[in-house]
Amino acid sequence: MREYKIIKIIFLSVLIIFSTSIASAVTINVPGDYATIQGAVDAIAVLEGSTTLSQPYIIIIAGGSYVENVLISGYDGNSITLQAGVGIPDINGSMVIEDDNVIIRPSKLKGIEIDAHP
């Protein structure tokens, strides 16, 4: 009976660790981890070793002015979320999103105009 309890505890521990690692996303902070939004996007391919994402990524963009052109293209697999952090990010430039797996939160970020095409 005691062996059964030990096996059950080990199984449940492995299950919890496995499910936690699947559900967690990698968070990248701009400008904390990377100075630019494009730098954060480009870093994802380096972190993954390819453009096929094995886990979701969240890029948190702090308030401030970002003068850059951002291109998100060629990624598949899990999602990339662009999320406003503290303050309002103001992107002075362009943002081109060519992938279906990109999420923007909130849906209105100052300086980002979303034009969805079917």
At residue 27, the pLDDT reads: 95
- Decide: 39 and 31 in contact? Cβ < 8 Å: no
Distance from C-alpha of 23 to C-alpha of 5, rounded to nearest angstrom: 27
- In the prediction, which pLDDT does 94 show? 82
Q: What are the residue boundaries of the structural domains of the chain, listed by start? A: 25-105
Sheet holding 102-105, edge to edge: 26-30, 57-61, 80-84, 102-105
Of 31, 112, 24, nearest in space to 72 by CA: 112
pLDDT score for 53: 92
CB 80 within 8 A of CB 49: no
Instruction: Catalogue the E-assigned strands of the chain.
Output: 26-30, 52-53, 57-61, 64-67, 70-72, 76-77, 80-84, 89-92, 95-97, 102-105
pLDDT averaged over 10-residue windows placed end to end, the chain, 118 residues? 56 45 79 96 94 92 89 90 85 84 69 46
Instruction: Tokens 């849906």: give the residue.
Output: 107
